């Protein structure tokens, strides 16, 4: 991720133009990105795709025509164009077992800033590569879009896809030294909101959960009242609250490989939770089943299965009445989702539990 | 208000009788009060209008028939009557655009006490004078009634009017040096409860919000289970918790003009909030509308409209899906109702928002 | 209770066998316990009634065949049987005015432990004796069962009785020096949960309320998802958190007569609350009724009825709209259930209140 950031850092990006294209082409070397070109003037909801802005050249020349900066008198030239063209964005769709999707969105427009948002781009690209080779129930959709106008353009052109989005994350500013911050979706208690909170709480690391507000990055569009998707935002130090924000000090020294790696781990843990957060039915709901005769009960001086928690099994059995998902059970018990999920799997293998398909929303299949 | 209190202070008031009449007649010089005379013996719910009590004369005489108090031996005379008569109360109705009403009630029976409740009487009279010349959507009903029996009598004689009362305040003890205390209605989360809490919280002044209890002033009657009106109580230091309570020390020195004025401001702010607390629909709900092309976005080195908050606009747009009133939005955002309302007005002027009349309760029209 | 514990302490108990029978027979001298014998091999839900385990003899002999322990060399003999037989449990049913029942359950299987659970057995037996001679609306069912398998056996054989159980308590470990701990039922806000919390809060003694968890005593079975009864657990120091737990130090010195007595008082107060927790209708719901003319209002220098609280009367009148039980009113007012109940009784006598039978669940009659 850090190497990718280093390569993309010198490119002159904006919300349109060749810098943006160059950035997306570089990403296409890693993931099978599909590029869209939307012509200037296209109406996207209340907005219009703007003209393309390109820099041909820019320099400061002294009186002798030399490009320097030492003399008292000099000529400044910025040779740019603002003409009809296109807005470019990249999209990568990874189909899963069900039509329900997880949306990962990052903005690709900021120039010469490493944390905001080359870190988000690099994290999204790595997630795409990892998930492409891992089994997954959900479909995953990655959007690499210029901020605001790009997200609006995608939503305006893909209204039919919106109902399939079950969870989503906007990724931005994930490489600085600060702790992870999750900003809740407009809904405030969506499954993604609870999943991220659970993962961060059980990470053993300092973190913060922020309430939704309509200011910020592209969650503004995904959480507008007519879209209202369960999309939150994962960042480290929030925008605008650190001195390097939107200055040349947001450079390669401001982002840290280990912080990027830690954010990757957090995202994969979150997606794993969503993948496995199902609702089960206890097949032996009247009184406890006998765990001992099935080898599921701790033995004197030993334990049933390595890492299998008896408390987790008891919680899963007690709460699996078709109304509680594994995340519900993890939250009520205070145990980690991981231990709850392991318990559910062991109980399912011993035919004490079965998935309750009725509780899976129709639209998510 | 302080001058009115000074004039009313010497009058010998009780729940019936000429002192009460004299008090109401003085108020009639300021507002077009309609006086009702309810005969002794009239049944009002579980109660009966009592006999009228009047003082003709009262003195202490010495042995020589002189009205003094210096001698060791004297004669005390209180020449009073307790006879069939009437219970008197005053009512002032200010019609608005809709039938829904705001009730303002104060008790008029306490003798020789400035704070309890000449302060409430003076505040209600001032509110009536201000509202009479201000535009207002709601109708306003002011009741000047003897405590308990007066409120019961009005309710018993006006059951048909009860359904029109949408919000209400009992005003009492608002002139002392203490901070404002609001006691919630029996419902606990009525619009009036939330409106007063919001106004006090944003006043920048110390204050307290008290839970409902069935003890106190005439909110006891308005909040009885068969009436159950959304009527709270606004006071300063609560009754019974200060040494001057119900003693001759509750005199002209105990009430302060600036405290009366401050209570008047609070009430007018509360009523303004109720008047303007409407629900809007975002007419551009899919993604954010483009504020810039409408001149609503901050410019570099300046601001769009003086006093117009971008955050308030974003919150109003984000939450205006027909389910959230402006007060809901103010509460969720933490911004003042005033800034939210200004934002809504600006957005309405730019046709980004319209009032959602469906969300106005039928009965309130 | 302490004497009963002393008598039962030497008996060699287990989940089956003669020690268990001997224990139950001793209880039958105090209460009309009905004994059930369930044959080995009987299927009870997921479990099977086990073989009976009996000790014939056990000793340590030295080389000369003397039963001592002083010599260096000796012979140990435990002469026991594990054969087909029965699982024994005791049940005492005390019919009330209605079919709705209160379940009191204690486990009878632990050997040579005073607190766990001779204290629970002794408390349940005393409750049975007291309630047998006291008027009571509910029926009461006392179960003296071996832990886990006994509760499961009873539930499996009495599924038809489960719907009649309205409230329940598992009693265990109530004799040690610690404070009372109540563990909530799976439902978490059942009437029994709120009743116990209220009684402990108003006891003036330190105590703790624990959230439900699926680990513990027989509440595990009563609160399994297919049974889901409103059954909580009353203990003192929770199992596993004190060094004497499941050791020979849980002896006659570890339990205290005054702690047993205090637990008895708490239980009787809880049952009294449940017995009296009814919903009333205010017969004079519009404005307050006139308490004075009925002698219910405090007089100068005195009070209406000894111990009758005016505030409690006002709260009962204000909240009795058919939606609030006396416990609801006690909780909202912060007053004790006792004072609320006394107020309700006085108001009922003065025909200001009547029981709202509609609000009593059909199944409880």
Is there a contact between C51 and C20 (Cβ–Cβ < 8 Å)? no
- Residues with Cβ within 8 Å of A76's Cβ and at least 6 positions away in sequence, in order, are A59, A60, A61
Q: What pLDDT sits at residue C301?
A: 47
**B311 chain-A contacts, CB cut-off 8 A:** 213-215
Q: What pLDDT sits at residue A73?
A: 79
Average pLDDT, chain A: 93
Q: What pLDDT sits at residue C67?
A: 78
Q: What pLDDT sits at residue A306?
A: 58
Q: pLDDT (tens digit, 9 = 90+) per residue, A171-197?
A: 999 999 999 999 999 999 999 999 999
Residue with tokens 């006598």: C349
Q: What pLDDT sits at residue C304?
A: 52
Q: Mean per-residue pLDDT for A313-340?
A: 97
Q: Work out the percent of chain C whose per-residue pLDDT is above 70.
A: 95
Strand bridging mode C74-83 / C52-62: antiparallel
- Residues with Cβ within 8 Å of A145's Cβ and at least 6 positions away in sequence, in order, are A89, A90, A105, A106, A107, A108, A151, A153, A154, A218
Q: Mean per-residue pLDDT for C59-73?
A: 79
Q: Could you give the C-alpha distances from A188 to A9, A195, C101, in angstroms and in order?
A: 35, 12, 42
Residue with tokens 């969506």: A190
Q: Picking from A235-249, B293-307, C200-214, C249-263, which range would have the lowest pLDDT averaged per residue?
A: B293-307
- Predicted ipTM of the assembly: 0.92
Closest CA relative to residue C138, chosen from C102, C182, C86, C180: C102
Confidence of residue C359 (pLDDT cuts 50, 70, 90): low
Confidence of residue A305 (pLDDT cuts 50, 70, 90): low
Binary contact (A287, C226; C-beta < 8 A):
yes
- Choose among C152, C156, C186: nearest Cβ to A318: C186
Q: What pLDDT sits at residue A72?
A: 72
Binary contact (B285, A225; C-beta < 8 A):
yes
Average pLDDT, chain B: 93
Binary contact (C214, A317; C-beta < 8 A):
yes
Confidence of residue C73 (pLDDT cuts 50, 70, 90): confident
Confidence of residue A350 (pLDDT cuts 50, 70, 90): very high
d(CA B76, CA B65) in angstroms, rounded, equals 11
B220 touches chain C (CB under 8 A): yes
Instruction: Identify each DSSP E strand in chain B by its residue range.
Output: 34-39, 43-44, 47-48, 52-62, 74-83, 86-94, 101-107, 139-145, 165-171, 180-183, 207-210, 231-235, 279-282, 321-325, 353-355
Is there a contact between C211 and C184 (Cβ–Cβ < 8 Å)? yes
- Choose among A186, A221, A228: nearest Cβ to B288: A221
Q: What pLDDT sits at residue B301?
A: 46
A184 touches chain B (CB under 8 A): no
Q: What pLDDT sits at residue C362?
A: 44
Q: Could you give the C-alpha distances from A150 to A86, A120, A127, in angstroms and in order?
A: 11, 15, 21
Is there a contact between C172 and C245 (Cβ–Cβ < 8 Å)? no
Is there a contact between B263 and B207 (Cβ–Cβ < 8 Å)? no
Q: Picking from B75-89, C35-49, C105-119, which range would have the lowest pLDDT averaged per residue?
A: B75-89
Q: pLDDT (tens digit, 9 = 90+) per residue, B99-126?
A: 999 999 999 999 999 999 999 999 999 9
Q: pLDDT (tens digit, 9 = 90+) per residue, A62-120?
A: 888 877 787 677 788 889 999 999 999 999 999 999 999 999 999 999 999 999 999 99
Which of A280, A285, A286, A313 is the best residue to mutate to test the C interface, defined by the most C CB atoms within 10 Å of its own CB? A286
At B21, list the tokens: 């009449």
Q: Mean per-residue pLDDT for C346-362?
A: 82
Q: pLDDT (tens digit, 9 = 90+) per residue, C18-40?
A: 999 999 999 999 999 999 999 99
In this predicted structure, the answer to whether residue A302 has a pLDDT above a threshold of 70 is: no
Q: Supply the DSSP symbol for B199.
A: H
Binary contact (B318, A151; C-beta < 8 A):
no
Binary contact (C287, B227; C-beta < 8 A):
yes
Q: What pLDDT sits at residue C225?
A: 97
Is there a contact between B137 and B144 (Cβ–Cβ < 8 Å)? no
Q: Enter the pTM of the model.
A: 0.93
Is the model more confident about A358 or about B319? B319
Q: Picking from A251-265, B258-272, C299-313, C319-333, which range would have the lowest pLDDT averaged per residue?
A: C299-313
C199 touches chain A (CB under 8 A): no
Q: What pLDDT sits at residue A363?
A: 43
At C357, list the tokens: 């039978």
Confidence of residue C365 (pLDDT cuts 50, 70, 90): very low
- Choose among C289, C314, C319: nearest Cβ to B46: C289
Confidence of residue A361 (pLDDT cuts 50, 70, 90): very low
Confidence of residue B360 (pLDDT cuts 50, 70, 90): low
Q: What pLDDT sits at residue C303?
A: 54
Q: Picking from A235-249, B246-260, B304-318, C203-217, which range would have the lowest pLDDT averaged per residue?
A: B304-318
Closest CA relative to residue B140, chosen from B121, B150, B152, B127: B127
At C54, list the tokens: 């009996």
In this predicted structure, the answer to whether residue B232 has a pLDDT above a threshold of 80 is: yes
Q: Could you give the C-alpha distances from C214 to A288, C151, C222, C234, in angstroms and in order?
A: 10, 15, 10, 15
Q: Supply the DSSP symbol for B295.
A: T
> Distance from B320 to chain A by nearest Cα, in Å?
7
Is the model more confident about A61 or about B365? A61
- Burial environment of residue B168 by CB neighbours within 10 A (0 to 12, 13 to 18, 19 or more): buried
Q: pLDDT (tens digit, 9 = 90+) per residue, B145-155?
A: 999 999 999 99
Give the bridge partners for C354, in sequence order. C281
Q: What pLDDT sits at residue B365?
A: 42
Q: Mean per-residue pLDDT for C101-124?
A: 97
Is the model more confident about B358 or about B197? B197
Q: What pLDDT sits at residue B363?
A: 43
Closest CA relative to residue B103, chosen from B68, B131, B66: B131
At B200, list the tokens: 């006090």
Confidence of residue B359 (pLDDT cuts 50, 70, 90): low
- Centre a 10 Å sphere on the Cβ of residue C89 and count the other Cβ atoms it contains: 27
What string of DSSP letters covers A294-339? GT-SPPTTS-SSTT--HHHHHHHHHH-EEEEEHHHHHHHH---HHH
Confidence of residue A200 (pLDDT cuts 50, 70, 90): very high
Q: pLDDT (tens digit, 9 = 90+) per residue, C255-302?
A: 999 999 999 999 999 999 999 999 999 999 999 999 999 999 865 445
Q: What pLDDT sits at residue A360?
A: 54
d(CA A220, CA A38) in angstroms, rounded, equals 21
Quote the distance between the C-alpha of residue A273 and its chain's center: 14
Q: What pLDDT sits at residue B361?
A: 47
Q: Work out the percent of chain A whose per-residue pLDDT is above 90.
A: 86
Q: Could you give the C-alpha distances from A124 to A144, A175, A274, in angstroms and in order?
A: 9, 12, 17
Binary contact (A321, C225; C-beta < 8 A):
yes
Q: pLDDT (tens digit, 9 = 90+) per residue, B66-83?
A: 777 876 777 888 899 999
Is the model more confident about A59 or about B21? B21
Binary contact (A333, C227; C-beta < 8 A):
no
Q: Mean per-residue pLDDT for A317-331?
A: 97
Q: Work out the percent of chain B whose per-residue pLDDT is above 70.
A: 95
Which of B287, B293, B300, B352 is the best residue to mutate to test the A interface, defined by the most A CB atoms within 10 Å of its own CB? B287
Confidence of residue A307 (pLDDT cuts 50, 70, 90): low
Q: Find out whether the peptide bond into A117 is cis, omega within 30 degrees of 0.
A: yes
Q: What pLDDT sits at residue B66?
A: 79
In this predicted structure, the answer to whether residue A238 has a pLDDT above a threshold of 90 is: yes
Q: Work out the percent of chain B whose per-residue pLDDT is above 90.
A: 86
Query: How many contacts (CB atoms, under 8 Å) link B and C?
Result: 60
């Amino acid at each position: 991720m850090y190497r990718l950031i280093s390569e993309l850092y010198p490119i002159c990006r904006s919300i349109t133009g060749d810098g943006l294209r160059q950035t997306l082409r570089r990403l296409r070397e890693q993931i099978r990105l599909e590029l869209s070109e939307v012509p200037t003037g296209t109406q996207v909801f209340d907005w219009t795709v703007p003209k393309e802005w390109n820099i041909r050249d820019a320099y400061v020349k002294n009186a002798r025509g030399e490009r320097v900066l030492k003399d008292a008198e000099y000529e400044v030239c910025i040779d740019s164009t603002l003409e009809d063209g296109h807005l470019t964005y990249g999209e990568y769709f990874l189909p899963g077992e069900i039509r329900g999707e997880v949306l990962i969105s990052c903005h690709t427009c900021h120039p010469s800033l490493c944390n905001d948002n080359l870190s988000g781009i690099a994290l999204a690209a790595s997630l795409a590569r990892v998930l492409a080779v891992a089994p997954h129930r959900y479909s995953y959709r990655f959007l690499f879009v210029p901020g605001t106008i790009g997200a609006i353009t995608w939503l305006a052109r893909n209204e039919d896809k919106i109902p399939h989005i079950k969870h989503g994350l906007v990724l931005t500013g994930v490489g600085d030294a600060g702790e992870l911050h999750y900003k809740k979706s407009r809904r405030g208690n969506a499954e993604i909101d609870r999943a991220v909170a659970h993962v961060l709480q059980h990470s053993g690391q300092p973190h913060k959960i922020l309430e939704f507000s309509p200011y910020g990055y592209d969650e503004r569009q995904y959480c507008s009242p007519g879209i209202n998707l369960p999309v939150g935002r994962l960042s480290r130090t929030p925008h605008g609250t650190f001195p390097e924000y939107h200055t040349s000090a947001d450079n390669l020294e401001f982002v840290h490989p280990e912080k990027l790696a830690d954010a990757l781990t957090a995202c994969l843990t979150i997606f794993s939770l969503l993948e496995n957060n199902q609702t089960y039915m206890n097949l032996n709901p009247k009184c406890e089943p006998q765990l001992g005769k099935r080898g599921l009960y701790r033995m004197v001086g030993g334990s049933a299965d390595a890492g299998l928690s008896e408390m987790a099994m008891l919680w899963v059995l007690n709460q699996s009445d078709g109304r509680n998902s594994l995340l519900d059970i993890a939250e009520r018990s205070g145990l980690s989702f991981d231990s709850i999920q392991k318990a559910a799997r062991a109980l399912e293998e011993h035919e004490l539990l079965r998935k309750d398909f009725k509780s899976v929303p129709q639209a998510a299949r």
